Structure 1
Amino acid sequence: MPEQFHRPIRRPSTAFDNLVGSSGSVEARRVAHATASALVQRARDDESGESARRLIEFTSEFGIDDIAELWADAPAVSLPGALWRLYLLQLSIHNDSQTAALLYERGRVELRSVDAVIAGAPAPASPEELVTLIDTILRGVFQGDFAVALERAAAFCRVQVSGATHVADDYEATEAERATQLTARARRLHTFANDLTAAAGLWRVGSLN
């Protein structure tokens, strides 16, 4: 992918909650780990920040197909697996920042934890501010403290889980299908939060690969 920033690709219409990988081969997983490591190292070595900027803007410009092909099948708690989850979070917020802001604010109000503080969004956060937040978190992966960036993303997920769960309860009596969708979203984000937290721990001891 490093030499393919110029190549436009199809932006998928698949919803965030349905974006999953297929079963991959051993060779595909080897390539996933190699490309993830190379991209992170390249961005961190580029003092100009240009590589990081291009990686942060990649899905907005080119979609997520290439990233999915490389990383969607990687183990959840791995470098490519963590990057895949971060890009999915970014895509979900960029594509529907209004819903993201609604769920985040509801979660911030309901959740009795420091997760909203760790995530670092304003209170309350506008849709535009959440777009900035997720881009800032992704920038931390490529230019800052990688583990802190993962922990911020995990905290963001937990706030969203709380919001999606409570809004699902609101819809349960009148719009059961919408409630089911929100519950599924909460379940997936909960898994993301756990995966990203575990990945952060491994990164801190030099074992995330």
Structure 2
Amino acid sequence: MSDQPPARRHHRPALPGDDAILAMAGGIDPQAREEAAHAAASALVHGARSAADAEVTRRVVRLAQDEGLEVIAELWSDAPADSLAGALWRLYVLRTWVQRAPRSVADQFAEGRRHAPVMEVVAGVADPPGPAEVAAVLDAVLTGVAEGDFAVTLERAAAFCRVVAIGRAHHADDPRVADAEDDASGLTRSAARLLRTAEQLESAGRRWRDGELG
């Protein structure tokens, strides 16, 4: 009889009950939280490929509708950027920001479009989505009803971030803003964070195409 412990069987993470999800969103049981985060992300993006998948997707969507999408998103908040859950967390934060500050986002996007035609091509998206379009696309992804290539969604969201970041940086250079040193430096730092988010989303898109975004 072998003294070696039995090999751990790999299993697809199961989504626990709704009450457990609500508890884990508050920081209880990190391992179970991580598995639930992966299961929820997979259910929303991959959709139903079996009866079990369909049940998981149904429960995730219903929980998001009943308790708010932020409950599901909270499970993703600590996920690494190179994971599916981490990519969805970044999309969720982007969507929330667009919804909460539509006017400033639209202004910065318009400013970025005036200064960033080359960056649009570099990002691989000739016509980046505007604030309303990106919010609608991310809503579809985060509620499990999106269609089409997920990599394209990630790339377009990244292009949007790049354009807005450029617009934000130009706002920081505006003399009317530069007079308020804290505001100008804050805009510069936040523009850099947006560019970092764009890079992370682009990387996630590449990993998705390569079948490595898990």
Q: State TM-score, norm by structure 1.
A: 0.71
In the alignment, structure 1 residue 112 sits paired with structure 2 residue 121: no
Q: In the aligned structure 1, how far is the partner of 2:48 from the partner of 2:104?
A: 31
Q: Is the 8 A contact 1:77 1:195 kept in 2?
A: yes
In the alignment, structure 1 residue 101 sits paired with structure 2 residue 106: yes
Gaps of 5+ in 1: 9-21, 46-50, 122-129
Aligned to 1:17: none
Choose 1 or 2 for highest CA Rg: 2
Q: What percent identity do the matched residue pairs reach?
A: 37
> Greater relative contact order (Cα 8 A, min sep 6): structure 1 or 2?
1
Spell out the pairing of 1:87-166 with structure 2 (5 A cutoff). Answer: 87-113=92-118, 114=120, 117-121=126-130, 130-139=131-140, 142-166=146-170
Secondary structure of residue in 1 paired with 2:117: coil
Question: What is the CA distance between 1:178 and its match in structure 2?
Answer: 1.5
Question: What is the CA distance between 1:67 and its match in structure 2?
Answer: 1.1
Q: In the aligned structure 2, how far is the partner of 1:91 from the partner of 1:151?
A: 18
Gaps of 5+ in 2: 1-14, 51-56
In the alignment, structure 1 residue 33 sits paired with structure 2 residue 38: yes
Q: In the aligned structure 1, how far is the partner of 2:156 from the partner of 2:34?
A: 26
The match for 1:197 among 194, 199, 202 is 202
Secondary structure of residue in 1 paired with 2:47: helix
In the alignment, structure 1 residue 67 sits paired with structure 2 residue 68: no
| CA 1:38–1:118: 2 relative to 1, 3 Å | same
| CA 1:145–1:44: 2 relative to 1, 3 Å | farther
Q: Is the 8 A contact 1:86 1:138 kept in 2?
A: no
Q: Is the 8 A contact 1:43 1:143 kept in 2?
A: no
The match for 1:76 among 69, 78, 81 is 81
Q: In the aligned structure 2, how far is the partner of 1:189 from the partner of 1:104?
A: 12
Secondary structure of residue in 1 paired with 2:82: coil
Secondary structure of residue in 1 paired with 2:182: helix
Q: In the aligned structure 2, how far is the partner of 1:26 from the partner of 1:36?
A: 16
| CA 1:137–1:30: 2 relative to 1, 3 Å | closer
Q: In the aligned structure 2, how far is the partner of 1:136 from the partner of 1:193?
A: 16
Q: In the aligned structure 2, how far is the partner of 1:43 from the partner of 1:88?
A: 25
Aligned to 1:12: none
CA root-mean-square deviation: 3.3
Secondary structure of residue in 1 paired with 2:178: coil
Q: In the aligned structure 1, how far is the partner of 2:141 from the partner of 2:44?
A: 14
Cα distance per residue 1:42-99 (max 9 Å; x no partner): 3788xxxxx79x96xx59x82624412x001000111001111111111001111001
Q: Is the 8 A contact 2:95 2:138 kept in 1?
A: no
Question: What is the CA distance between 1:111 and its match in structure 2?
Answer: 1.2
Q: In the aligned structure 1, how far is the partner of 2:133 from the partner of 2:157?
A: 13
Question: What is the CA distance between 1:133 and its match in structure 2?
Answer: 3.0
